[in-house]
Amino acid sequence: RKVLAHGWGALVSPLSFMCYGSQGGQDRWVIASAANASRYYVDLAANDAECLSNTVRLEREHGWRGLCIEPNPKYAVHLAQRRACRLMQAAVASDERDVDFWMRDARGGIVDSGGVDSIRARAGVVSRLRTRRLESLLEEANAPSVIEYLSLDVEGHEEEALPDGFPWNRYTFLLLSIELPPPSLNARLFSAGYLFARNALSYQVHDTLYVHRSHPRAATIASNWSFVQMPAHCNHQSAGPPLPFCPGRNRFYCCAYRRHPANGTTRYAGWQHWRASDPLGVVT
């Protein structure tokens, strides 16, 4: 998905043979780690049907079924034509509300005040649509209560997709991959029984991977890596210098986090306060 974010907006399914499957091996990690309980996935946002898709191999090569959620009609049409997943053309948020959704070629996102998508929207088309809660879509799709894998990449709105009010007791994701999750979302996941498995599988990918403690091999999957907080999307920042440690050195995508000297917790450091000598969000 990073390829699309850096200007290849026209790269959709006709060229998918060039970039088939996950960008950083998330699909291979899922296949190797799966408990094969439900063999059901949720892909949010599904993006292209094949190119950089975390779920296309699960579906075609391993017989999984699943739910693809994608609000952008340019992607939705290819998903409908090329995938067997249940397709829901919707934007997901923490509540149901009317929002502005920008689109430019095959890219898009919810426009928030002062955020990265507000900046992008200046060069795209903005439409009005109503958001849905994730659990509402899962219920409508008759998704199982134990979902084998959730792929979550919604360009800085990951925390809205899994808010405080998400019914963790109703739906369990045995494996998760989340792009650039902020510390508050990590804390929410850990309190809901999710264990850190590892960070990005590739220098091009900025996902954190998790396993739920109910997974029969959770202890093994989560045992080899110490938790390190990834830099996160800065949707509330409209500008700022690129940070040296940021993926792609993209000034719109990263926040810096510093460890509090007294209690070891992380907090947002801010563009103007960040220094190269500051320890970066390592939670011990």
Q: Where are the domains of the chain?
A: 2-91+143-221
Predicted pLDDT at 108: 74
Predicted pLDDT at 94: 95
Peptide bond into 256 cis (omega under 30): no
Distance CA 42, CA 27 (A): 13
DSSP strands (E only) in the chain? 40-44, 65-69, 86-88, 98-104, 107-110, 125-130, 146-152, 172-179, 194-198, 207-212, 257-259, 266-268
- Chain-centre distance of CA 276, in angstroms? 27
Residue pair 157/185 in contact (Cβ under 8 Å)? The answer is: no
Q: What is the pTM of this model?
A: 0.77
Predicted pLDDT at 234: 54
The CATH architecture annotation of domain 2-91+143-221 reads: 3-Layer(aba) Sandwich (3.40)
Q: How many CB atoms lie within 10 A of CB 114?
A: 11
Predicted pLDDT at 278: 33
Per-residue pLDDT of the chain (284 residues; tens, 9 = 90+): 332 322 223 333 444 556 899 988 999 999 999 999 999 999 999 999 999 999 999 999 999 999 999 999 989 999 999 999 999 999 999 999 999 988 876 667 788 744 445 555 556 788 899 999 999 999 999 999 999 999 999 877 899 999 999 999 999 999 999 999 999 999 999 999 999 999 976 767 889 999 999 999 999 999 888 888 887 665 443 334 444 444 443 433 444 444 444 444 444 333 322 233 333 333 32
Predicted pLDDT at 117: 54
Distance CA 159, CA 166 (A): 11
**163, 190, 208, 250 from 187: Cα distances, Å:** 11, 5, 13, 25
Query: By CB neighbour count within 10 A (0-12 exposed, 13-18 middle, 19+ buried), where does 226 fall?
Result: exposed
- For residue 135, the SS3 value is helix
Q: In sequence order, what DSSP letters do the residues of 18-39 get, joined into one string?
A: GSBB-SSSHHHHHHHH---SS-
3-state helix, strand, coil in the chain (%, to 5): 25, 25, 50
Q: How many CB atoms lie within 10 A of CB 81?
A: 9
- Please state the length of the chain: 284
Predicted pLDDT at 269: 39
Distance CA 279, CA 284 (A): 12
